Structure 1
Amino acid sequence: MEKSLLSLPLALAAYPIHVANGLKEYATTIRRYYPNGRFRRTDLLCLWAYLTRDPYTICERFLKSFPDDQVQKMYGESFFTTLEKVADTIKLDSKDVVYDLGCGRGRSVFWFNAMFGCRAVGIEINPVFVTQARRIQKSQNIDEVEFVLADLMDADYSDATVIYLYGTAFSDTAIVKLVEHFATLRPGTRVVSVSYSLIPYTDVPMFELEQKISGKFLWGETDIYIQRKL
């Protein structure tokens, strides 16, 4: 068997706590979110599509030739329980347009749309993930979901009301470049960043910190910063 149902790399077998966290979260996903039929179908299709293809390895191989200071080479997915905590904090609703930066295979994008009825857009540089996510979207006839093949630094966020950035392993150089691109965001756009605030990376006031919460991930717990574009 190449990998577990959760698509964890075999290397994680040496870290029982990570495996335990992943299995516990998936059990919670089944109990808490799978009653939503649309999400259940898309999520199972996402998991099935990579049953014999490890997304961690796909990511590592594709990004191998990219400069270390431009991309995040570690693959990771946010726990849905953490996303729910974020969504409740910002009072996410069907009028929002959520962008997930570096969406990977797209599970979070489908989750945002199914659970809140909002338009959800995934930005991803790896064509393997985008192609497969689009196939799932098409097979389920979901209109309010979009997957864009693009570099995060160049993507168009003009219609975003919420941006979710799980860029824990981004270099300072990449964060500065991305924050410069965020200068074009509409005032009032909320940017959710995991592990660090974006405010220290701006030369002039660009964001105000609305709230800081904590969230759990496969590797542990960290702070999550909710900022509003000035």
Structure 2
Amino acid sequence: MNSREPSAAQEPRIEPRTEMTSSDEDDDSKTIECNTEQPYSIAPFNPSSRSAQDHALRLFSLTSDDVLFDLGCGDGRLLLTAASQVEGVRCVGIELDPIFVWRGRTALAKLPHEVQQRVQIRHGNVLLYDNNEPLCEKEDNEQVLHACSDLTIREDATAIYLYLLPKGLARLKADFLDSLVDQRMEHDGTKGRKIRIVSYMFRIHGWDPVAIDDGLHGGVRHYLYEFGSDAPSD
């Protein structure tokens, strides 16, 4: 991992992609306008506020046994917060934009080594990769030896965070999440493990949330969904 920020000539050109909530530290109720013309505009980089992160992590109630995936993780700030707050939790983020992957890895490198070993930010498209394989670019020895390198969503995730537009949620649900939930509903060894999914801002249509967090001052909502052997039944 490089320790220096790349020059402007080296940085990939990344355009904002849609309208979402602003990243004010203590206010998650404002909006900003961005470009919606990008073909991959299912999740713009518009970082969630620290308040929003705290609300999401409170819904998850993570423990040292959890594996948290953030699909469309931006610069990975939710993952870094989770790993710093919850001892033992392992965190994996997948992000399409390379500059945000770089920023997340750079921020991670500033944290204690013990935290670094429990967070991995992967470069890839959540809608295109093979869900049965760990998506991991082996860019250097640190990534190869990383404690999270072999983790997959289908086999290992116990918590998934989604900050996606409705069309992104709908496509991910149809392409992958429905089959993941069906797998976790099977009471067959590890397939019966509970999975918790938190969606920020938007409901996942077709599912009923088990809890809704209204955010700071009744602001933007988080929706919690649970499936698996010890999750609430329909």
Q: CA deviation at 1:194?
A: 1.7
Match in the other structure for 2:177: 182
Letter of the structure 1 residue corresponding to residue 53 of structure 2: L
Match in the other structure for 2:162: 165
Q: 2:126 aligns with which of 145, 148, 152?
A: 152
Alignment length (residue pairs): 164
Letter of the structure 1 residue corresponding to residue 24 of structure 2: G
SS in 2 for 1:71: coil
What value does the CA root-mean-square deviation take over the aligned residues? 3.0
Tell me: CA distance 1:132–1:223, structure 2 relative to 1, closer, same or farther (3 Å).
Answer: closer
Q: CA deviation at 1:216?
A: 4.1
Which runs of 4 or more aligned residues in structure 1 lie more than 4 Å from their structure 2 counterparts after TM superposition? none
Q: CA deviation at 1:96?
A: 0.9
- When normalised by structure 2's length, the TM-score is 0.59
Match in the other structure for 1:227: 225
Cα separation, 2, equivalents of 1:121 and 1:83: 16
Contact 1:82 1:215 in 2 (8 A): yes
Q: 1:81 aligns with which of 51, 56, 63?
A: 51
Q: CA deviation at 1:126?
A: 0.5
Letter of the structure 1 residue corresponding to residue 163 of structure 2: Y
Match in the other structure for 1:11: none
Q: CA deviation at 1:192?
A: 0.5
Unmatched tracts of structure 2, length 5 or more: 1-21, 132-152, 185-193, 229-234
Match in the other structure for 1:191: 197
Q: CA deviation at 1:119?
A: 0.8
Q: CA deviation at 1:135?
A: 3.7
Cα separation, 2, equivalents of 1:160 and 1:88: 18
Contact 2:60 2:198 in 1 (8 A): no
- When normalised by structure 1's length, the TM-score is 0.60
SS in 1 for 2:213: strand
Pairs within 5 Å for 1:50-129? 66-67=38-39, 70-72=40-42, 74-117=44-87, 118-129=89-100
Contact 1:192 1:225 in 2 (8 A): yes
Tell me: CA distance 1:85–1:149, structure 2 relative to 1, closer, same or farther (3 Å).
Answer: same
1:146-188 Cα shifts (integer Å, max 9, x gaps):
0111112135312111111112xx243x322100211232522
Cα separation, 2, equivalents of 1:111 and 1:93: 14
Q: CA deviation at 1:83?
A: 2.3
Contact 1:130 1:148 in 2 (8 A): yes
Match in the other structure for 1:204: none
Tell me: CA distance 1:24–1:81, structure 2 relative to 1, closer, same or farther (3 Å).
Answer: closer
SS in 2 for 1:147: strand
Unmatched tracts of structure 1, length 5 or more: 1-17, 26-55, 201-206
Of Structure 1 and Structure 2, the greater helix share is in 1
